[in-house]
Copies of this chain bind each other. A is one copy, B any other.
């Protein structure tokens, strides 16, 4: 097997596949996923409609790939946040900062998650809810390592983690709605977000 040539063929396919995904992602800025047509996506990717089927069986399948992609990005953000908070004592400030930076860098992925989480497309909605539940569980086991949370029950940790994750996603939505990156409105959102996270945190020592 000629590896280089073989790669070249696969590479091409991968390329148009990526273009389809990218086209869909950017079309989602002004449309919800369920209002997105296969033809529209194909057109934006510079490909004939029927070519779409060489890559995805349906729009739903493409959507699920986007869920995957987006959560890969989100998990990367969480890893950064964890790394940053280990260095800094200002856990909240650092986390929010990381979140803001990630949203700037991967706007489309975060927008996709935030918008489609409650969307009309049941397949995507459930996929995203499932992923968020996973992320939440991961955060819970992470929280368990903090000394002042060591004797909390699993269920309580889960609830706290879910609280944080939800707050996070809501912050993302607010950030997406803000007119300019780094503007005064964004600073307001950030300040409120930090305040709200702090309000949750101050309650932690008093639980039970």
Cβ of A186 to closest chain B Cβ, rounded Å: 16
A192/B32 in contact, CB under 8 A = no
Contact residue among B155, B166, B195, B203 (Cβ-Cβ distance under 8 Å from A202) = B203
Cβ of A205 to closest chain B Cβ, rounded Å: 8
A166/B170 in contact, CB under 8 A = yes
B202/A199 in contact, CB under 8 A = no
User: B-facing mask of A70-103, CB < 8 A → 1, else 0?
Assistant: 0000000000000000000000000000000000
A162/B199 in contact, CB under 8 A = no
What residues of B have a CB within 8 angstroms of the CB of A129 in the complex?
A: 177
User: B-facing mask of A99-120, CB < 8 A → 1, else 0?
Assistant: 0000000000000001101111
Cβ of A54 to closest chain B Cβ, rounded Å: 25
* CB of A134 within 8 Å of the partner chain: no
What residues of B have a CB within 8 angstroms of the CB of A203 in the complex?
A: 199-204, 206
User: B-facing mask of A29-58, CB < 8 A → 1, else 0?
Assistant: 011111100000000000000000000000
Q: In the bound complex, what is the Cα–Cα distance between A38 and B201 (angstroms)?
A: 47
B120/A162 in contact, CB under 8 A = no
* CB of A196 within 8 Å of the partner chain: yes
A122/B200 in contact, CB under 8 A = no
Contact residue among B28, B160, B173 (Cβ-Cβ distance under 8 Å from A120) = B28
